[in-house]
Structure 1
Amino acid sequence: MRKPLQHIWALPVLAAGLAVPATAPAQSIDVTLVNGHPSIFLWVKHLTETFIPAVNTALEGTDYAINWSEAYGGSLAAVGGELEAVEVGLAEVAAIPTVFMPTQLPLQNVSYNTPFGPSDPRLVMESVAMLHDTVPGVEESWHEYDAEYLGGGFALDNYVLMTNFPVTSIEDLEGRRIAAPGPAVNWLEGTGAVGVSGNLTTYYNDIQTGVFDGVIVFPTAAAPARLHEVAPYVTITDFGAQYAGTLVANRTWFADQPEAVQNALRDAAAAYTEAYLVEQTDRVAAAMATIASDDDHLHVLAPEERTRWASALPDIAGVWAENANGMGLPGSEVLTAYIDALKAAGADLGRDWSQR
């Protein structure tokens, strides 16, 4: 028997309603991401190319989406001003260059206070990440600035010396003005050089105008900054790779975010670190070929000269650890744990800084 007509008409209407369910739009969360360096540098490049896409991908299918504002190259905070920008709420997330914050974040500067360490950035990154995970007080040291450590970060490739004069021994540095980032100025003590604090955004002009005679720098930043144009002599000193920064969020803001967003930020920090390290490895050889294109401008410091330089330095690590201890931080514990991790990995150390 034929169905009543009204039932036949009702079926397509019901089917249409089931086929196109109403979906609520994702909640949009405004996030400003800050770093003081311009995007030509690798740790900034991967904020755009890796970190942001990784967060966005992780949030697909959830009720949340990020509306990003990227603030690089001093547009919101100068180099070294990123932590304050997060602390006061100008930015929700930042890539913090800890190297420029030796006073605020001394524990995160352990590698810069143990020079002539391993040349492998991955080993340095893993060792400092281990400190955050295992030594009470390291991760918590961020909380004073209302910052939440997201993990990962960036380590810089093996530092070299670039000058406008040839260097083959410590004696060649006598009376020369050499710029270095933050605590790396200490690497010049006892050499006769005059160490001056500086950063990548000013190195080129300062050497060109005679303010400095050279810089302590790492190849993958020296090449895009074209420092070889003003400092053509490269000395491979094996100062070592250095932990230079990490990703953090404003802690108060982070605590208010849903778990899906918190997890996305942490997972993206890990993805950022891996992508950064992989590309960094690929770039080092090309960077060296750019900044030292011929043997006349490249000198590899002899192992005995490297050891002599390291031995000539005062007890940088010991003084640093005691200062951190005096601030109520686990300086000595961090120093011992860091050097033990490097030695366990078989790292080539120009000096064992755990020995007093």
Structure 2
Amino acid sequence: MKKKIACAVLGAMLLGLSLTACGNADNPSTGEITESGYPKREFIVAAIDSHDKTSAHEIEIFTNLVIERSGGAITFKVFYDNLLGKATDNLNTLSSGIADLGTVCTLYTPSNLPLSQITYCVPFAPDDPVLAAKLMYKVSEAYPEFYEEYEKNNVVCLGWKGNEPYKLYSKGPIEELAQLKGKKITLGGVYYIPWFQSIGAVPVNAAAADLYQTIKTGVASGSFVYDSIYCNYKLYEVEDYCLEVGLGARNNNVLCFNKDMWESLDEKTQQLFQECADEAMAEFQDWQQSEMDGWEQEMLDNGVTISTLSDEAKAEWAETALGYQDTLQTWIDEVTALGYDGAGIMSAYLQAGEELGYEWHFDTTPYIQ
């Protein structure tokens, strides 16, 4: 029995060592420069979902582009569905060299990537994922510290993507904010919780897989999630009203490369990866929009009533939420304490949104420098 246990432990250790060896700067390659001008090489990829899901589809697009552009010289061994570690720990999976490339969800890394949390702390940000992504790229051009905070974690940020917006789903219609008082709503997030608490809603914690039973049994009467989650788990069977609240699309997921591995690459290969990352992110946004249209149609086909929160109600909620807890100032104070120009960055972020044609639903005057 002891021998069997020892063998099992040894096997697990060898697997870990094998993957680490594949994913560090000593990753073996033939050294052969192919006709395409790129070295023959394979990279390890850690994806946090399956290839056809919004949390990982950019991986499939990116790797296919690189393989094609390199003439097949560069290939990838992709581990989908968190096979190399939990999604919440993918930053460590990449920074430690277990994998060379992967997606980092910034929602899980507030202490490691504090600047990137700016995407979560502003209520009623753009609902359009493309605009949300443009906003992050624009502010990072003015403040390269956004890229530098990734490098401090031994990864290189190749690009941000805008994720589909959260919406509020419920058993009954919600026509005004006052109806949310006392309602139990499943939601999470450092900033979402106080926003809902400010109007009297009661946050309930529930994993995506548990939402159906949570709503069906009455533990909660509504959920604040993505259309994709709502449709994947057929939540329209237990809650058939959708309110597009407009709290905003977020830049949750970032395509990252292990920094040690990145610095071992020649300039031409780095340029290929960056160009393919830029193209993959743009292609992903088009694909995601198509998926979003499909989810909405699925909802309509299943009798879901969809409505939109008025601009007046958004302004009222934003004022109430920021009066309850000024999440913008909270973020400013937190990053300022870390040595960043929090006020300057927030000002640039809000102004960038306006320059991109977005109209904020709250008074930005106190935050604009």
**Category of TM-score, reference length = shorter chain:** 0.7 to 0.9
How far is 1:170 from its partner? 2.3
Change (3 A) 1:100 1:194: farther
TM-score normalised to the size of structure 1?
0.82
Residues in 1 aligned to 2:63 and 2:78: alpha-carbon distance in whole angstroms: 10
Contact 1:43–1:276 (8 Å) recurs in 2: no
Shift of 1:246: 1.2
C-alpha separation between the residues in 2 aligned to 1:206 and 1:252? 44
CA deviations over 1:98-141 (Å, ceiling 9, x no partner): 12323322221212111212222212111101222221421111
Q: Tell me whether 1:329 sits opposite 2:340 in the alignment.
A: yes
- Residue 12 of structure 1 aligns with which residue? none
Looking at structure 1, the residues matched to 300 and 170 of structure 2 have their Cα atoms a distance apart, in angstroms, of 12
Q: TM-score, normalised by structure 2?
A: 0.80
1:29 to 41, 46, 54: 41
Contact kept, 8 Å, 1:227 with 1:291, in 2: the verdict is no
For residue 7 of structure 1, what is the aligned residue in structure 2? none
Identity over aligned pairs, percent = 21
CA contact (8 A) 2:186 2:223 kept: yes
Q: Is the 8 A contact 1:336 1:354 kept in 2?
A: no
Alignment correspondent of 2:279: 271
The 1:265–1:36 alpha-carbon spacing in structure 2 relative to 1, beyond 3 Å, is same
- SS of the counterpart of 2:88? coil
> Given the alignment, which residue of 342, 358, 361 partners 1:350?
361
Name 1:290's counterpart in structure 2.
298
* Aligned residue in 1 for 2:331: 320
**In the alignment, which residue of structure 2 is the partner of 1:57?**
68
Cα distance in 2 for residues equivalent to 1:321 and 1:105:
14
Q: Name the SS for the 1:168 alignment partner.
A: coil
Farther-moved stretch of structure 1 (85-94 vs 164-173): 164-173
Pick which of 325-334 and 305-314 moved more: 325-334
Q: Is the 8 A contact 1:137 1:330 kept in 2?
A: no
1:47 corresponds in structure 2 to 59
* Partner SS for 1:162: strand
Query: Counterpart in 2 of 1:144?
Result: 152
The structure-2 alpha-carbon separation of the partners of 1:69 and 1:296, relative to structure 1 and needing over 3 Å to count, comes to closer
Question: Could you tell me whether the CA contact under 8 Å between 2:231 and 2:299 is conserved in 1?
Answer: yes
Code of the aligned partner of 2:353: L
Query: Unaligned stretches of 5+ in structure 1?
Result: 1-22
Q: Using the TM superposition, give the Cα deviation of residue 296 of structure 1 relative to its aligned residue in structure 2, in angstroms.
A: 6.6
Task: Check whether the contact 2:48–2:90 (CA below 8 A) recurs between aligned residues.
Answer: yes
Q: CA deviation at 1:248?
A: 0.7
What residue in structure 2 maps to residue 11 of structure 1? none
Aligned CA distance change for structure 1 residues 302 and 181 (closer, same or farther; 3 Å): same
Q: Distance in 1 between matches of 2:99 and 2:219?
A: 34
Change (3 A) 1:334 1:203: farther
Answer 1 or 2: higher relative contact order, Cα 8 Å, separation at least 6: 1
Q: CA deviation at 1:189?
A: 3.0
Q: Distance in 2 between matches of 1:214 and 1:106?
A: 30
Query: For residue 350 of structure 2, what is the amino acid of its counterpart?
Result: I
Q: Distance in 1 between matches of 2:144 and 2:32?
A: 43
Residue 158 in structure 1 maps to residue 165 in structure 2 = yes
Equivalent AA in structure 2 for residue 29 of structure 1: R
Q: Which 10-residue stretch deviates more, 177-186 or 199-208? A: 199-208
Structure-2 separation of matches of 1:127 and 1:80: 25
Q: Distance in 1 between matches of 2:248 and 2:86?
A: 26
Change (3 A) 1:75 1:198: farther
2: CA distance, partners of 1:131 / 1:304: 28
Opposite residue 173 of structure 2, the aligned amino acid is P
- C-alpha deviation, 1:212, in angstroms: 4.3
The answer to whether the 8 A contact 1:124-1:155 is kept is yes
CA–CA separation in structure 2 for the residues paired with 1:317 and 1:33: 35
Letter in 2 for 1:135: Y
Q: What RMSD in Å do the two structures reach over aligned CA positions? A: 2.7
Shift of residue 45, structure 1, vs aligned partner: 2.2
Amino acid at match of 1:158: P
1:311, 1:141 → 2: CA distance? Answer: 31
Q: Is the 8 A contact 1:102 1:182 kept in 2?
A: no
Q: Secondary structure at the match of 1:145?
A: coil
The answer to whether the aligner puts 1:214 opposite 2:222 as a matched pair is yes
* Counterparts of 2:339 and 2:108, CA distance in 1: 21
Pairing 1:119–2:122 present: no
Q: Please say which structure displays the higher CA radius of gyration.
A: 1
State how far apart, in whole Å, the 2-side matches of 1:342 and 1:199 are: 32
Deviation at 1:354, TM superposition (A): 5.6
Candidates 126, 132, 141, aligned match of 1:133? 141
